[in-house]
Copies of this chain bind each other. A is one copy, B any other.
Amino acid sequence: MKILITGGAGFIGQRLAKRLLERNELNGKPVTELVLLDVARPNDERLLADERVRAETGDISDPAVLRRHIDTQTEAIFHLAAIVSGQAEADFDLGMKINLDASRALLEACRAAGHKPRVVFTSSVAVYGGALPDVVQDDTALNPQSSYGTQKAIAELLLSDYARRGFVDGRVLRLPTISVRPGKPNAAASSFASGIIREPLNGERSTCPVDGDTRLWLLSPKSAVEALIAGCEIEREKLGLRPVINLPGLSVSVNEMVAALAEVAGEDVVQRIDWQRDERIERIVCSWPGAWNTARAEELGLSGDKNFADVIRAYIAENHAENHTDERS
């Protein structure tokens, strides 16, 4: 089967690509072609060397680019390309263009192709905000307090309606904050959720911009990739009237993350964290839920991580075993 990954040069995109190639199967069919569409080429040469992989560069907000890469052979699409939260807040028009217009153009390209491909959108904790229960439920209203969250919530609604009308076989996976990401800090307001682990482990200082009591809802890169694949493989009928799924995560406070880092790497490493609150980041991140109900995801066969110390250990193991890769998405 032919698969398209938008944002295919990003950290999660490349990791998903590698996993799909490795298992060489999706929805019961062999992976014959894997198109990685992004503004830049992937940096992983081993990935590019696989004969099933085709790296394509292009602006996904240009409908012609999407039409070119979505044809009746494209059986599954993972739409990962996005402008992250901090950047979408700083550049409103860019966020609207990529997070909203490109998502809509992708759905339109699928509709035009007419073969009802399976489409996976990723969404985020950022669709929630305002007064929230301690544990967000499946029927808790969205009230995003960032432009990123707004754009993701709109993309969810669009996909849901395109799916309801039979234009696509779509589903939305709401991801917790991904941690620990390798590479460098990015413009996501949640960038610190990886930085306060990664930089100290690399012997560098890192600033934590939120209070230690701030509760985050986290998922490791490995579990995120497994959830993307499992989410893609859920039969449409099982989704009922709600194609949006809140993925399992770990609810941990920043203090608990730091304690796990101390447990795994020692107190010295933890001393490399500087605590300096940043109101701009705090306003966004603290509007997100610290946990949500995962019963439906688990019924659908999706799972997350066991504990954050193990997530750190896996990060260390992976980043000793392979070169660091840049992250962009």
Q: With A157-B144, A157-B150 given, is the CB distance from A130 to B242 under 8 Å?
A: yes
Stretch from A33-41, A135-143, A182-190 contacting the other chain: A135-143
Contact for A154 among B144, B147, B158, CB less than 8 A: B158
| Chain A count of residues within 8 A CB distance of the other chain | 25
Interface segment, one of A4-12, A59-67, A160-168, A213-221: A160-168
Q: Residue on B with the closest CB to A153?
A: B157
Contact B241 A131 (CB under 8 A): yes
| In the complex, A253 has a CB within 8 A of chain B | no
Does A289 reach chain B (CB closer than 8 Å)?
no
Contact of A142 among B130, B138, B141, B150 (CB under 8 A): B141
Are A92 and B165 closer than 8 Å at their CB atoms? yes
What residues of B have a CB within 8 angstroms of the CB of A92 in the complex? 165
Stoichiometry (number of copies): 2
Distance A99 CA – B240 CA, assembled complex (angstroms):
26
A154 to B39, CA, bound (A): 27
Q: How far in angstroms is the closest Cβ of chain B from A279? A: 16
Q: What 1/0 flags go to A236-270 for Cβ under 8 Å of B? A: 00001110000000000000000000000000000
Chain B residues lying within 8 Å of A158, measured Cβ to Cβ, are 150, 154
Q: How far is the CA of A242 from the CA of B92 in the complex (A)?
A: 20
- Decide: B141 and A141 in contact? CB cutoff 8 A: yes
A145, CB-defined interface residue at 8 Å: yes
List 12 A–B pairs whose Cβ atoms lie within 8 Å, in order of A's numbering.
A130-B241, A130-B242, A131-B139, A131-B241, A139-B140, A141-B142, A144-B157, A144-B160, A144-B161, A147-B161, A150-B160, A154-B157
The 6 tightest CB contacts between A and B, nearest first, are A150-B161, A130-B241, A139-B141, A141-B141, A154-B154, A150-B157
